[in-house]
Amino acid sequence: MSQAENESQIENQSEKRKPVDAGIHTNFKNDMTYGDYLGLDSILSSQKRLSEHHDEMLFIVIHQTSELWMKLILHELEAATASIAGGELEPAFKMLARVARVQEQLIQSWDVLSTLTPTEYMEFRDHLGHSSGFQSWQNRLIEFCLGHKNQKVLSVYAHQPELHSRLKKALYQPSLYDVSIKVLAERGLPIDPARLQRDFSEDTTADASVEAAWLTVYRNVDKYWDLYELAEKLVDVEDRQQRWRYNHLKTVERIIGYKRGTGGSSGVMYLKRVLDHRFFPELWNLRTQL
């Protein structure tokens, strides 16, 4: 072995002996840490059980993490709605695809909560008082954004003026679906003017002109590729939202049967009625027509 080769081998062995984490920063006296950036002290100290029962922690964590995922969904839906309203469809596709992925996380969360048995839940249910997932204002905003409007639910938030104002504003704004239908009209597809000028605080209902326009898109995919992709992204979101609703129903039925909800709703019966609702009815109706 030559001297150069020997020196190279020694150098390589020396490098191998160096700790692989030698460059890790350890002095955070004046620097922001991972926990600082994420606000972990606040987040991880927010799980406050009202009972001594072990499984209440599961119940709290599932609902808190669900609210965090909903925050991201709202962030994406609101941005997608603004993008579509501005005629920029492609950025919205990425946002809606992300929403669908986040919805998968929410769907799977019911599998974790379903490990809670009826006997275990009854050990701390009374501590919840009248608090209920029905009162989730983020879930309500998501439904408003998707076009499922209901002015009556605002009364639940009357004791929180700022939140009530935010929900009321969202109630009267065009939904994700409203701006999508407007794009159809802007592309020359005939939409009934009454549908375009409707009261946005009302729930979305099926419209014959909208169904005909979407049918034209699906029958002329090459011509309307971006509108076709938009339609399928909307269907992805609704499909997962319905699966989330269904898993919610089955988890509630598994844990409390047909008892009334802590918030006063009819529980499983209410959730069954919700399953019959469609956010984008024409996109489902047209499938029979194709």
What pLDDT does residue 274 have?
A: 87
Q: Pick the range with the lowest mean pLDDT from 2-16, 114-128, 167-181, 222-236.
A: 2-16
- Using DSSP, how many helices (H) and how many strands (E) does the chain show? 14, 0
> CA of 262: how far to CAs of 98, 130, 144, 252, in Å?
32, 5, 23, 12
Residues in the chain: 290
62-100 tens-digit pLDDT: 999 999 999 999 999 999 999 999 999 999 999 999 999
Q: What is the DSSP string of 127-174?
A: GGTT--GGG-HHHHHHHHHHT---GGGGGGGTT-HHHHHHHHHHHTS-
DSSP 126: G
Tell whether the model's pLDDT for residue 135 goes beyond 90. yes
* pLDDT tens track for 189-248: 999 999 999 999 999 999 999 999 999 999 999 999 999 999 999 999 999 999 999 999
Q: Decide if pLDDT at 13 tops 90.
A: no
- Residue 11 binned pLDDT confidence (cut-offs 50, 70, 90): low
**Which residue segments constitute the domains of the chain, with CATH numbers given?**
3-42 (no CATH), 61-289 (1.20.58.480)
Whether the pLDDT of residue 28 is over 80: the answer is yes
Between CA 112 and CA 55 the distance in angstroms is 12
b/e map of 76-101 (b: 16 or more CB within 10 Å)? Answer: bbbbbbebbbeeebeebbebbebbbe
Angle between helix 225-256 and 281-289 (nearest 10): 110
* Binding-site annotation: residue ranges for substrate: 59-63, 121, 125, 262
Report the b/e string of 190-201 with b at 16+ CB within 10 A.
ebbeebbebebe
The tokens describing 69, both together, are 């995922």
Binding site feature residues for heme: 248
**Which residues contribute to the annotated binding site?**
59-63, 121, 125, 248, 262
Contacts with 104 (C-beta within 8 Å, 6 or more apart), sequence order: 240
State both tokens at 256: 């409390």
